[in-house]
Amino acid sequence: MLRPRITPCLLVRDGGLVKTIQFKHSTYVGDPINAVKIFNEKEADELIVLDIDATANGAEPDVKLIARLAAECRMPLCYGGGIKTARQAKNIIGLGVEKVALSSTAIETPQLLTEISQEIGNQSVVLVLDVKRRAFRGGYEVYIQNGVKPTGRDPISLATEAEALGVGEVVINSIDRDGMMKGYDLELATRIRAATRLPLTFLGGAGALSDLTELIQACGVVGAAAGSLFVFKGAYKAVLINYPSADQKAELIRSAFTH
């Protein structure tokens, strides 16, 4: 039986673990390999690792780092950043990564998603949509190149097109909520959930376990991903890798489905 997934998302820049606020104000918070070791101990459901500068800088995927992450990780691992060809995706899967994530390149060249899914299987292909609320016209717009370049595309239409292109999962990342720790954009989440049957993961805004509960309550069986929530602790945001215990996770999910 499918169940909600609670997923830490680690952002990598120059080989280091960082956190951002609305895709800006990058702060170094440690070594991603050490973070993976701790999430192993805490038995996280899965892990997303995104190299946030690779595509924007035209860089290749950091194969050495990916190999180290995959060798250390004892949970399903999704990696994104710098993937431009089906060969690169296949090589990354060959290192022991379960899923590859694409964003800017795939939105500019949608057929790449089809090529990669034919090479590695659609269950291993994830489309990441970085989404910002339109200030004056209303609705939402997808941005690329690390949240800098607007596409003019609505995330709902892209999410609904994704399945036909060979995507197995869509991650919706709220730029407005990134690092704010004030809760998910539930309006965005419920609209996307209603538009597609694909597996979905939502990222951006979680600041407490109750935010995960609210997301699951609103959208059902989805992935609840978070960065700051699992990296910082307390009012002063001390760096401390954390994750809900098995009992906390069970109660969180039970509460979501009984209210």
Extract the tokens encoding 57: 């800088």
Active-site choice (45, 51, 62, 130): 130
Please report where in the chains the tokens 């994530």 appear, as a residue: 101
Gyration radius (Cα) of the chain, Å: 17
Backbone angles phi, psi at 224, to 5 degrees: -105, 100
Active-site residue 130, yes or no?
A: yes
Taking the C-alpha atoms of residue 132 and residue 152, their distance in angstroms, rounded to an integer, is 11
> So which residues are the catalytic ones?
130
